[in-house]
Structure 1
Amino acid sequence: MGLFDSLRRKQKPGVLRSATKQDTAHLDEWAGSRHGVEAYVEPRTNVTDTTVVLVAHDGEWTRRRIPDFDAALDFGKKRGIPVYEVARVGYPQRMRDYMARQKRQGKG
């Protein structure tokens, strides 16, 4: 075993990581601990799988992988969260405002 073997990638380059139970658990916990949450689905690309961005009332947000758009719709329906397609509606202004506040406070 070489000195840097533990730092090497565990997956081959170009292989997308699928959504896991940990991703879903994080989304569940995050959505349950905030109010005014909306879901914004980001389409699959060559670099990343389908992801969902949850945005709270104050603009705080989190992003995790999700199997597909239908899974995002199911996630939102079960939790009473509206689901939008980022490609159609864009990100909400409050998310950009939140990131700007974090940057000004030196947290971003």
Structure 2
Amino acid sequence: MRRRKGGKNRFDRHADDTDITALIEFAKSRVGVEFYVEPETFATGTTAVAVATDGEWIRRRVGAPEVIKKVAHNLAAPAYDVEIVGYPKRMREWTARNKRGLSLED
């Protein structure tokens, strides 16, 4: 368990380059990818979900919202605050269709 600024405990690891690389590779290899920024919680740092047009998705640690917003800008992809817009319906539908093979989150 790690202690970070503000005295919050963190059970999760920090974001690293492999996380950002995975999101970029996902976006470049799928159609219509949008990013959904998830807030930091007690147990995890800021994460982002990349969702393709067909609903396929991955979630990775990003460290800070600014990081994924810059990545999204460089890829000409939108980035949304999930607390404001929620998750897209196509993501939930894809998850329901693919429950048995979910290993997209590490």
Q: Could you state the TM-score of these two structures normalised by the residue count of structure 2?
A: 0.83
How far apart are residue 95 of structure 1 and its match? 0.2
Work out the CA distance in 2 between the residues paired with 1:100 and 1:23: 24
The structure that is strand-richer by fraction is 2
Work out the CA distance in 2 between the residues paired with 1:21 and 1:107: 25
Residue 97 of structure 1 pairs with residue 93 of structure 2? yes
Amino acid at match of 2:101: K
Q: For residue 6 of structure 2, what is the aligned residue in structure 1? A: none
Q: For residue 81 of structure 1, what is the aligned residue in structure 2? A: 77
Q: For residue 47 of structure 1, what is the aligned residue in structure 2? A: 43
What 5-or-longer segments of structure 2 have no aligned partner? 3-8
Q: For residue 101 of structure 2, what is the aligned residue in structure 1? A: 107
Work out the CA distance in 1 between the residues paired with 2:93 and 2:56: 9
Q: Give runs of aligned pairs for residues 17-32 of structure 1, distance below 5 A.
A: 17-32=13-28
How far apart are residue 107 of structure 1 and its match? 3.0
Work out the CA distance in 2 between the residues paired with 1:27 and 1:99: 18
How far apart are residue 102 of structure 1 and its match? 1.2
How far apart are residue 19 of structure 1 and its match? 0.9
Identity of aligned residues (%): 44
Work out the CA distance in 2 between the residues paired with 1:62 and 1:102: 13
User: What SS class does the counterpart of residue 23 from structure 2 fall into?
Assistant: helix
Q: Which has the larger radius of gyration?
A: 1
How far apart are residue 34 of structure 1 and its match? 0.4
Q: For residue 35 of structure 1, what is the aligned residue in structure 2? A: 31
Amino acid at match of 1:107: G
User: How far does the alpha carbon of each residue in 1:55-74 deviate from its partner, in whole angstroms, 9 at most, with x for none?
Assistant: 00000000000021111110
Work out the CA distance in 1 between the residues paired with 2:24 and 2:68: 12
Work out the CA distance in 1 between the residues paired with 2:101 and 2:60: 20
Work out the CA distance in 1 between the residues paired with 2:84 and 2:92: 17
User: What SS class does the counterpart of residue 98 from structure 1 fall into?
Assistant: helix
